């Protein structure tokens, strides 16, 4: 049995970027940039007006005030998208729209709300500073400047930056294909009525949702009955087609838990097969050539807990992301939670905040089959290995879960 940190380190050591792919700009959202983005232009590509107003020479306004009203001659109008070839001279003004190029000769824009105009006469009642309302050529970025660093997540604002720089596609880290194999003769399709001894195949759905929520590709191979030869064929097929293979069930010590045997037979390198975590102890991690193999427990909530703690960081690392599991913080227990020493325990709770402090309330049985409890939870508290029963009033680290 390995500790959680050792398990994570062993997995991390085997986890590598799969490569780089080109993505159409909008499909790259929430992926990670695999290239530095440089600007091929100066932005703005001209001195740009930040306001609707009048482009002027600021030195025409040095003595202007309400008492000493200045008068300029309006020569015309410059709309966004226009470009004036001439040069503005002293005594002249051009009406200018937000986003339009400030004409040569002009060095300031005075807002439309601050002036009066009569036919081609512009009246100014105050002094205007040089560069007022002018966004200078190249002020945002210059040709050759680094715009976005490699390894940044592409958020909506980066989509905007990339579009403004003329990138219609970008290089991102490849997402892994994750094969899913659900084992167990007791499993029936979710549309079936359950007969004696049967339960519905919820794990395949939980796993698909977990994988696709990370923007990875799920390749579901369905339910495999507890038959060693069939399982072996499925595992071999999965290792051929996918980058990561996940099995659920068949990972314990029972006579019909064939996953580990099969891994040995095909010559996979088994790194560990038990983790000191509750729920989710029977987790086997193995490698086969460059492929990663996780045999997860079949209990529905053990499955999700071990996915979140071990598979999710793996997929995120492959995709170039830091671990997005949320930050831990101290939480005060408001109920007693029974437990035994020996494994680190993840207890599903409702965490409420009051002022700056957080409190944890029981939401149901922590039995590892109870998806219902997990569904009522918004967080977990983490009870260390050494601790058995945890009592109301005690403080442990906790975190929120499943937040988007």
Near a second copy by CB under 8 A: residue from 253, 267, 289, 393: 253
Q: Whole-number minimum distance, CB 216 to a second copy, in Å?
A: 13
- Residue list 78-107, contact with a second copy (CB under 8 A): 79-83, 95, 97-101
Compute the radius of gyration of the chain from its Cα atoms: 32
Beta pairing partners, 217: 177
Closest contact distance (angstroms) between CB of 291 and a second copy is 24
CB of 99 to a second copy, least distance (A): 5
Closest approach of a second copy to the CB of residue 232, in Å: 18
Find the shortest distance in angstroms from Cβ 68 to a second copy: 25
394 binds a second copy (CB under 8 A): no
The string of DSSP letters for 47-105 reads -EESSSEEEE-GGGGTT--SSS-EEEEEEEEE-TT----SB--TTEEEEE-TTPBPPBT
Q: C-beta of 10: minimal distance to a second copy in Å?
A: 24
Contact status: 113 vs a second copy (CB under 8 A): yes
> Least Å distance between CB 304 and a second copy?
6
Site stretch for a second copy (CB under 8 A), options 13-21, 58-66, 336-344, 367-375: 367-375
Task: Tell me what percent of the chain is helix, strand and coil, each rounded to the nearest 5.
Answer: 20, 35, 45
* Residue 11 main-chain phi, psi, to 5 deg: -65, -45
Provide the token pair at 24: 């159409």
The residue among 11 and 33 lying less far from a second copy, judged by its C-beta, is 33
Among residue numbers 290 through 319, which ones bind a second copy (CB under 8 A)? 298-301, 304
CA distances from 288 to 227, 240, 268 (A): 22, 10, 5
Yes or no: say if 173 and 20 are a contact pair by the CB < 8 Å rule.
Answer: yes
Stretch binding a second copy (CB under 8 A), from 68-76, 230-238, 283-291, 364-372: 364-372
d(CA 385, CA 59): 75
Of positions 254, 267, 289, 290, contacts a second copy by CB under 8 A: 254
Q: Cα–Cα distance between 145 and 36 in angstroms, integer?
A: 10
Interface with a second copy (CB under 8 A), residue from 10, 18, 46, 74: 46
Total length of the chain? 404
**Is 81 or 267 the residue whose CB approaches a second copy more closely?**
81
Q: Considering only residues 1, 16, 45, 120, which one is a binding residue for a second copy as defined by CB under 8 A?
A: 45
CB of 159 to a second copy, least distance (A): 4
Contact 5, 100 (CB under 8 A): no
Closer to a second copy at the Cβ: 25 or 395? Answer: 25
Show the CA angle centred on residue 129, arms to residues 126 and 132, nearest 5°.
Answer: 110
How far is the C-alpha of 101 from the C-alpha of 25, rounded, in Å? 28
Q: How far is the CB of 46 from a second copy (least distance, A)?
A: 6
What residues have CB less than 8 Å from 207, skipping those under 6 apart? Answer: 180, 182, 218, 220, 246, 248, 303, 307
Total chain residues near a second copy (CB under 8 A) = 98
Burial 123-139 (b: 16+ CB within 10 A, else e): ebbeebeeebbbbebbe
Question: Under the criterion CB under 8 A, does residue 242 sit at the interface with a second copy?
Answer: no
Kindly tell me which of 130 and 269 has the beta carbon lying closer to a second copy: 130
Residues 2-31 that bind a second copy (CB under 8 A): 25-26, 29-30
Q: Are 213 and 55 in contact (CB under 8 A)?
A: no
Q: Between residue 159 and residue 218, which ones bind a second copy under the rule CB under 8 A?
A: 159-168, 184-187, 190-206, 208-210, 212-213
Which part of the chain contacts a second copy (CB under 8 A), choosing from 42-50, 170-178, 266-274, 387-395?
Answer: 42-50
List binders of a second copy among 133-162 (CB under 8 A).
Answer: 135, 139-141, 147-148, 155-162
CB 109 within 8 A of CB 51: yes
């Amino acid at each position: 049995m390995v500790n959680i940190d050792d398990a994570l380190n062993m997995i991390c050591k085997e986890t590598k970027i799969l490569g780089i792919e080109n993505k159409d700009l909008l499909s790259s959202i929430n992926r990670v940039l695999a290239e530095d983005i440089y600007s091929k232009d100066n932005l703005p590509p001209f001195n740009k007006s930040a306001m609707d107003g009048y482009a002027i020479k600021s030195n025409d306004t040095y003595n202007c005030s309400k008492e000493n009203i200045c008068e300029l001659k309006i020569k015309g109008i410059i709309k966004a998208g226009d470009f004036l070839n001439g040069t503005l001279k002293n005594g002249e003004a051009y009406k200018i729209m937000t986003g339009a190029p400030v004409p040569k000769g002009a060095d300031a824009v005075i807002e439309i709300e601050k002036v009066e105009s009569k036919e081609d006469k512009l009246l100014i009642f105050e002094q205007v500073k040089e560069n007022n309302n002018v966004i200078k050529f190249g002020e945002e970025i210059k040709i050759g400047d680094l715009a976005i660093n490699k390894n940044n997540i592409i958020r909506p604002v980066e989509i905007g930056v990339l579009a403004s720089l003329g990138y219609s596609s970008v290089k991102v880290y490849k997402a892994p294909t994750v094969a899913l194999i659900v084992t167990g003769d007791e499993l029936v399709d979710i549309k079936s009525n359950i007969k004696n001894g049967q339960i519905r195949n919820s794990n395949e759905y939980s796993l698909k949702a977990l994988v696709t929520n990370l923007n990875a590709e799920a390749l579901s191979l369905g339910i495999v009955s507890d038959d060693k030869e069939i399982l072996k064929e499925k595992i071999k097929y999965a290792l051929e087609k996918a980058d990561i293979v996940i099995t659920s069930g068949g990972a314990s010590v029972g006579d019909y838990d064939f996953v580990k045997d099969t891994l040995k037979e095909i010559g996979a390198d088994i790194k560990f097969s038990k983790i000191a975590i509750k729920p989710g102890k029977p987790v086997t991690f193995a490698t086969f050539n460059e492929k990663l193999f996780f045999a997860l427990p079949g209990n529905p909530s053990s499955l999700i807990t071990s996915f979140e703690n071990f598979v999710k960081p793996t997929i995120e690392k492959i995709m170039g992301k830091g671990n997005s599991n949320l930050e831990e913080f101290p939480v005060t227990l408001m109920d007693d939670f029974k437990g035994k020493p020996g494994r680190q325990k993840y207890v599903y709770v409702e965490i409420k905040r009051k002022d700056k402090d957080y409190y944890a309330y029981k939401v149901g049985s922590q039995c590892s089959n109870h998806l219902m409890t997990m569904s009522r939870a918004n967080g977990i508290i983490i009870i260390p290995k050494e601790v058995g029963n945890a009592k109301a009033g005690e403080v442990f680290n906790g975190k929120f879960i499943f937040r988007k």
